[in-house]
Structure 1
Amino acid sequence: MAVRLFEGKDHASAYLNYRVTPLELISTIISYMEKKSPGPFGLAVDVGCGSGQGTVLLAPYFTKVLGLDVSPAQLEMALVNCCPPNVTYKQSPAEQLPVDAGQVDLLTSMTAAHWFDRQKFLLEADRVLRPGGCLALLSYTMDMELEHGNTTEALNDVCKEFYTALLPYRNPHLGSSSVKIYTDMFASCPYPDKEWNECFRLRRTVSLNGYIGMVETFSNYQVMLKKDPAEAQRLSQHIRTRLLEAMKVSSPDSEVTVVVKYFYWLARKPL
């Protein structure tokens, strides 16, 4: 059974403002596709596209890009975001894609497939992919790290405190590790041409407030916020203060490097 989250307007807006886009992984996906098909490519479909930050990165490589999400609020944010002329959006569940059979060159999901009905989604992916078309599923672990000069170790001790406080609010659908969800899906995919990558470290310069905002978009923080708004806000402020102290700065706009640990798998439908 699929899980519906990230549907409120405030959450969708935060998602657009704070989530990190996997730009470097897009070139990895395209390189994988070009090993067997030099292109040009026709249709890419991004499932669970959210506010479209990853969807628009596909635009230079495909004639048409379709972003799909169950949340009207997320799709509204996607239209507010940069929208190239060859990108369109529709409301749709992952398990019933509004695409004809055998039409898709690339079907991807960026940090969303763990919410899908996995077996139904894989069957639907097989239906819409053309022979030789590719499936690319990527996500990242919550244990993001911060880097900043000689304060890196101290900062990451604070980050671990943040993640530990949020652990009791983790959605039981995810189990103990979202990585296992993706490895199970990888094992279930019948395509012989497939590859798994356990950890791709993506670095971005953000403000301390940007880091806090990113963690606040996560589902477990959102659950905490709903159950106990005062405690959720207290936790965010406590972590912000601890990070400022560790860096010996006063402004939450001070910059740090956030390290996001992506994992992904790629598969090609047989000809």
Structure 2
Amino acid sequence: MTHRLYEGKAHAATYWKYRISPSDHLMQQVLDFLQKQGGEFELAVDVGCGSGQGTLLLAKHFASVVGTDVSPAQLELALQHAHKPNITYSRQCVAEELPFTDSSVDLVTAMSAFHWFDRPRFLQEVHRVLKPRGCLALLNYTLNMELSSSDGCSDALNHICREFYAALRPFRSPLLGQSSIEMYREAFELIPYPEKEWHGCVLNTQLMPLSSYMGLVESFSCYQALLKQDPQRAHKLSQDICQRLMSVMKVSSAETEVMVDVKYFYLLACKPEEA
């Protein structure tokens, strides 16, 4: 069964404010794969949609998009930002029991969510709901994001970032193992479809305020676990890291923008015509 996280209203609000979405270029790779396989663009389902950032991207390309999640708080927030008529977020459900008929969905996506699912059951459910020539896209990014600055202080910034990640590593969920990328590799090998692709490292660079970078890291499950266990320690760690980064950048405001390099990995798979 899906491991339930990110369900509180406060965390949902943080998720919407700071979580990033795949780039247009990365989403185009997904769409190109679907088109190459002869798939249609009628119905896309975004599983574990959270507050809906990825779902909004899909809405540009499909006649209908449905976001599903186990969290009412996340879905409530997603609905507040669903300004396109072809988006529906009315499907509160676990990932392994999707409310769609057999062979009815053109594209199933899970963006930074698959690692929380009961993965074998989810893949079976995806096989059930996908149309022949329908596709699955599983996307995620790694925690080890890097900062870059035009004034030559990138090495110093990333030394501090690595200390931040190291401090959070003990609070990483045991469900994720040593590296979530290995989970996705394993899933890629288990999917029996002949048409599938693995992409191990796609760099997505985004300009954002330093405060948004801090908020992004704070939205991760490892920081949230520390926050739940010891709020004072969590806040002190975050404040110290932010102050050190500002000191290296020689700025006084956390609203100063910085380039953040995010490392994505993803897999694509197409259900055969005769499956």
User: Fold conserved (TM > 0.5)?
Assistant: yes
Task: For residue 62 of structure 1, give the secondary structure of its aligned residue in structure 2.
Answer: coil
Aligned to 1:184: 186
Aligned to 1:84: 84
Find the aligned partners of 1:163 and 1:127 in 2 and give their Cα distance. 38
Aligned to 1:48: 48
Asked whether the equivalents of residues 144 and 162 of structure 2 are also in contact (C-alpha less than 8 Å), the reply is yes
Give, as a single letter, the amino acid of the residue that structure 1 aligns with 2:244. Answer: R
Greater mean alpha carbon deviation, residues 86-95 or residues 30-39: 30-39
Matched, 1:217 2:222: no
Find the aligned partners of 2:116 and 2:83 in 1 and give their Cα distance. 25
Greater mean alpha carbon deviation, residues 120-129 or residues 19-28: 19-28
What TM-score comes out, normalization by structure 1 length? 0.98
Aligned to 1:166: 168
Q: How many aligned positions are there? A: 270
Q: CA deviation at 1:34?
A: 1.2
Aligned to 2:272: 270
Q: 1:252 aligns with which of 231, 241, 254?
A: 254
User: C-alpha root-mean-square deviation of aligned residues, in Å?
Assistant: 0.9
Task: For residue 134 of structure 1, give the secondary structure of its aligned residue in structure 2.
Answer: strand
Aligned to 2:58: 58
Find the aligned partners of 2:205 and 2:237 in 1 and give their Cα distance. 25
Q: CA deviation at 1:132?
A: 0.3
Give, as a single letter, the amino acid of the residue that structure 2 aligns with 1:67. Answer: G
1:96-145, Cα deviation, whole Å (9 max, x unpaired): 00000000100010000000000000000000000000000000110011
Aligned to 2:68: 68
- Structure 1 spans left out of the alignment, 5+ residues: none
Q: Identity over the aligned pairs, expressed in percent?
A: 53
Q: CA deviation at 1:36?
A: 2.7
Aligned to 2:36: 35
Query: For residues 75-154 of structure 1, what are the structure 2 equivalents within 5 Å?
Result: 75-89=75-89, 90-149=91-150, 150-154=152-156
Find the aligned partners of 2:77 and 2:29 in 1 and give their Cα distance. 26
Task: For residue 179 of structure 1, give the secondary structure of its aligned residue in structure 2.
Answer: helix
What TM-score comes out, normalization by structure 2 length? 0.97
Find the aligned partners of 1:42 and 1:235 in 2 and give their Cα distance. 46
- Structure 2 spans left out of the alignment, 5+ residues: none
Aligned to 2:208: 206
Give, as a single letter, the amino acid of the residue that structure 1 aligns with 2:96. Answer: E
Find the aligned partners of 1:3 and 1:48 in 2 and give their Cα distance. 11
Task: For residue 53 of structure 2, give the secondary structure of its aligned residue in structure 1.
Answer: coil
Q: CA deviation at 1:82?
A: 3.8
Q: CA deviation at 1:25?
A: 1.5
Q: CA deviation at 1:81?
A: 1.8
Find the aligned partners of 2:245 and 2:122 in 1 and give their Cα distance. 40
Find the aligned partners of 1:115 and 1:164 in 2 and give their Cα distance. 22
Find the aligned partners of 2:72 and 2:37 in 1 and give their Cα distance. 36
Give, as a single letter, the amino acid of the residue that structure 2 aligns with 1:54. Answer: G
Find the aligned partners of 1:76 and 1:83 in 2 and give their Cα distance. 13
Q: CA deviation at 1:38?
A: 6.8
